[in-house]
Amino acid sequence: MLKATNLTKAYGSLAAVRNVSLTLEPGRITALVGASGSGKSTLLNLLAGLADADAGDVQLNGKRIEGPSEVLVPGHDDIRLVHQEYQLMPNVSVRENVSYALRFFEKSYRDFRVNQLLKLCRLTDVQDRIPRQISGGEKQRTAIARAIADKPAVLLLDEPFSHLDLPNRLIVRDLLFDLAHHDNTSCLFVTHDATDALSVAHTLGILRDGKLIQLGAPVDVYRQPSTAYAAHMTGPVNILKAKYLSLFGFTDVTIPDELVCLRPEQIKLDNTGAPAIIKAVYFKGSHYEIEVNLSRYVSLRLLTTRDDLEVGHHVGISLKTESVWQLKG
């Protein structure tokens, strides 16, 4: 188990990571979502023992991970970090890139394990090509295969889904599931887009300005975000002042200026609901996203499968009390 306690790191006067505590359990996948500059990469480097913390520490199974200033070779054998740039050896094949990670093992085991990894990461067909002859997704998987070759206890990944198309994202998703479930690896990835994080992770954290502002099951963070930032980072959302809920007939609003969040899928088209006018219609494949004006000040986004709606149509909108989530800030 990897346990970070009160990790803090500044670059000059800029606090990049602030007092972050986090536990990565074996066989569990954790995702941290944050905007650009929120401290994701810095935190990964601290967790991997590749950067010195100003305060706090990281322990693997109760033993403190030493930072680069304390050891000759930074990092830890049981913790692997897959960088965004993959950092593959450019002049040797995919197979040799993976095999290099196992250079201290006996040849027969090395060959067996490399074949196993190439198959697992779906690289068998491109194993003889060098990195510049393979796609971004294949590079990504080569980096992962290399990182997991000798079965580390912890795998950390920087934006593993960000430059991949859907089929490649699904391959990486399945790979992470496989690692967590079969090898009991603790996996953590950071991302600026929660789309994949929601479906892949067991635990989801929200990082803002170096602080871990929320941590929980993806469904809880999605439905009950602590702040407007956490709400926006986890998916499309409507945020409005509580006083405007009166448009839906809600009368028990205590603090009118407090912000509430409504996910688009929780708002329903309903002829008996609050009157609204359609402002925009976006086709999304399986459904439409529509934007409606309820008043001069309130417009909302909602989802529907109806395909008879057009800009300017008058519709009714309804909402259940339990769909309204009050934000803290």
Ligand X SMILES: Nc1ncnc2c1ncn2[C@@H]1O[C@H](COP(=O)(O)OP(=O)(O)OP(=O)(O)O)[C@@H](O)[C@H]1O
Which residues of the chain form contacts with ligand X (CB under 6 A)? Answer: 11, 14, 16, 34, 36-42, 192
* Shortest distance, position 210 Cβ to ligand X, whole Å: 7
How many CB atoms within 10 Å of residue 239?
Answer: 15
Backbone angles phi, psi at 195, to 5 degrees: -50, -55
* Shortest distance, position 152 Cβ to ligand X, whole Å: 21
175 vs 91: CA distance, rounded Å = 26
* Shortest distance, position 40 Cβ to ligand X, whole Å: 4
Any alpha helices (H) in the chain, and if so which ranges?
40-47, 94-100, 107-120, 136-148, 166-183, 194-200, 218-223, 228-233
Which CB sits closer to ligand X, 43 or 117? 43
Which CB sits closer to ligand X, 85 or 257? 85
Which CB sits closer to ligand X, 38 or 142? 38
Which CB sits closer to ligand X, 17 or 221? 17
Which CB sits closer to ligand X, 188 or 262? 188
* Shortest distance, position 4 Cβ to ligand X, whole Å: 15
Q: Are 183 and 117 in contact (CB under 8 A)?
A: no
Backbone angles phi, psi at 308, to 5 degrees: -110, 15
* Shortest distance, position 14 Cβ to ligand X, whole Å: 6
184 Ramachandran zone, left/alpha/beta (phi>0; psi -120 to 50): left
Q: Are 304 and 236 in contact (CB under 8 A)?
A: no
* Shortest distance, position 192 Cβ to ligand X, whole Å: 5
Which CB sits closer to ligand X, 17 or 65? 17
Compute and round to an integer the Cα radius of gyration of the chain. Answer: 23
Q: Are 206 and 233 in contact (CB under 8 A)?
A: yes
